[in-house]
Structure 1
Amino acid sequence: MENSTAINPARLAKLEAKTPQNYPPLEQVNKPNLTTAELAFYSNMAAQTWRVKACYDTAPEGLRPLRVCGKLAWPTAGAKKLLGVH
């Protein structure tokens, strides 16, 4: 029995979905809130870590998220302050 080298299209789509997105430098971000994925990228921490911090209300000072339709919106100003970006 030989292993096939054909690529499963469904698996390929999942792998492409996991490809990291290109985010602009945090200095250039001027929107009021960040998504959890963006905050995770900028802070170099897992997105699930930030979700846990929101759940237990243990986020750093100035980073308390807003809950909008089941999603978390993290203040950009707080993220910049935490990461030392002006």
Structure 2
Amino acid sequence: MNVTRPAKVAPADFVPLHLETRTHVSTGITAWHVSLQQQTLRAMACNESYDPRLKPVRHAGRLLWPVAGIKSILGVA
């Protein structure tokens, strides 16, 4: 039985990392860049098990992740 997965779709506010001008981005954007599920990032934030360069901030009940940390982890900073 062949099962096809739906194509991975970028979040609506996605900007390629090299063109990103925001200092922090949403969990969806971060998940896209680091190839993790959003829920994995949320669990990492709750357990404080993230890389220190990727420490999220909470704003209005949402997690925002630093673009500089994403670039650093991916080795493009």
**Shorter-chain TM-score tier:** 0.7 to 0.9
User: Structure 1 runs of 4+ off > 4 angstroms?
Assistant: none
Q: Tell me the alpha carbon deviations over residues 31-86 of structure 1, each in whole angstroms, 9 at most, x when there is no partner.
A: 11010000000111100000000000011021111011110011110111011113
* TM-score normalised according to structure 2 size: 0.80
| Structure 1 residues not aligned, in runs of 5+ | 1-18
* TM-score normalised according to structure 1 size: 0.72
Count of residues in correspondence between the two structures? 69
Distance 1:55 1:48 in 2: 10
| Structure 2 residues not aligned, in runs of 5+ | 1-8
Which has more radius of gyration? 1
Could you tell me the percent identity over the aligned residues?
32
Computed over aligned residues only, the root mean square deviation of the Cα atoms, in angstroms, reads: 1.7
Q: Does residue 54 of structure 2 align to residue 63 of structure 1?
A: yes
SS in 1 for 2:65: strand
2:69 corresponds, among 41, 64, 78, to: 78
Q: What corresponds to 1:44 in structure 2?
A: 35
